[in-house]
Amino acid sequence: MEDKTKEIEALQTLKKELEDTLSVVQELEGARRFFYNTGTICIEMNKEEIIELVKTEIEEIENMIKELETK
């Protein structure tokens, strides 16, 4: 039970970080080119692509949280 709570808390922290990053991306009006670090290489993306990517990651985390909560 304690492990599950900790896991949910960690996911919520990650979700908050991603939401913060998303708002920074949306606020940067002048930026056209973005780069996503995959761990080995950086992929060039435009603003729409990067917003989509972050939103997808947030959704995935939300699903993981829901899954853990219903377990």
Partner 1 sequence: MAKRKTKDTPKVSLEELNRELRGYIAQIEALRTEIAAIDTAIADLRAVIKTINNIKDLGKGKNILIPIGAIAQIEAKIEEPDKVVVSIGNGISAELSVEEALAQIAKEIATLQALRRALEEAIVEAYAKTEELLEKTKALGAEEGK
Residue spans of beta strands (DSSP E) within 1-71:
33-37, 42-46
6, 7, 12, 28: which one binds partner 1 (CB under 8 A): 28
Q: What is the DSSP string of 4-69?
A: HHHHHHHHHHHHHHHHHHHHHHHH-SS--EEEEE-SS-EEEEEHHHHHHHHHHHHHHHHHHHHHHH
Number of residues that bind partner 1 (CB under 8 A): 21
Residue type, position 19, single letter: E
Q: Which span (1-9, 28-36, 60-68) binds partner 1, by CB under 8 A?
A: 28-36
In whole angstroms, the minimum distance from the beta carbon of 71 to partner 1 comes to 26
List 33, 41, 48, 69, residue binding partner 1 (CB under 8 A): 33
Residues in contact with partner 1 by CB under 8 A are 17-18, 20-21, 24-25, 28, 30-39, 42, 50, 54, 57
